[in-house]
Structure 1
Amino acid sequence: MTDTATWLKTIHREVDAEDTDAGRSRTVKLSRTFAAPVDDIWDAITNPERLARWFYPISGDLRVGGKYALDGNASGEIMKCDKPSALSLTWEYGGGGSSDLDITLRPSAGGGTVVDLQHTAILPFDDETWAAGIGQFAPGWDHGFSRLDDYLKGELAEDDSPNELSPAAQELWAQAGAQWSEAVRIWRS
């Protein structure tokens, strides 16, 4: 990827919060069209061999109701798996409680695929604290989308690891953080 700023503009970002019976839920949402068919994207996000190539190695009981673990990252339970359009997981990271991750795929014009990702958590702090921290965690999803895009294009180096942020990946995180700050500004207005 040569122009990070231009590429990041291909992602639509939103934030949201609402009161629920369980507490205040807060959500980050990303949407991007990838130049690959739905079945290929589905396989890239659910096939353990392919997922390990661009995201993280995964292990566990990889079926609805089963527990999964991403090597060096999150773990949780597979809640829904409707091939090839919807995947829902619980997401447990670093002992910080459980959140919900929902991914949907839908065909776009020209044979591509729109990937919608929604990450929702009930958090024990106010909206201001949450909004201030978005730039620290939400760019991780931009980074994941970037790696998926590079993988699908055959541009991801064999030895590239999501845990080792190259200068280009660090720049992507920084610029994505600014994009998330703008999403927060729009949400507040």
Structure 2
Amino acid sequence: MKNILIMFSFLLFLTCKNNNNVEPVNVNVQDEDTLKTAEIKVDSMAVKSEIAEPTKSYKALKAELKAKGFETFDYVDEKTKDTVLMQQYFMAFLKSGTVRNQNEEEAQQLQKEHLAHLRKMYDLGYADISGPFGDDGAIRGITIYNVPTLKMADSLANADPMVKAGRLVIEIHPWWAAKGFKLR
């Protein structure tokens, strides 16, 4: 963490080097364990910069997931020789339900409530990604639940107002993904 601050300060110094009125760069940081922002003063002007929190070690992350009831396994990536931690998620397929006779106003209201439900799942950390499919097939969309059990994922998915109204039905499957990998 100190190396990041030193490098950031050096880059800031180089950026301002040609300005003769630049005062020395003062970096005021919190304790390393709680470091989230740094205040940097240049030319009597304070600039706040967000600094990434230190990432958890593989061992700590695996222990945390286990304590919360998540299933995991790991493997060694042949190319990088890194240990990759895999976590079980639950992929919910939202499929067309049998009750699709709502009028336009009712359907719009259900859609609004459906999107609010998905937003709530994301905000609470229960779902990592949701979205509709781009065709008009029987499977309307997906939600990937980041919860420890199928029972919990099923309960959350079936709390969706569209599902309660019968406009959508849920089909859930366990799904494995590498922890920390991102969509590109």
Task: Mark yes or no: TM-score above 0.5.
Answer: no
| Higher Cα Rg, which structure | 2
TM-score normalised by the chain length of structure 1: 0.21
Query: More helix by proportion, 1 or 2?
Result: 1
TM-score normalised by the chain length of structure 2: 0.22
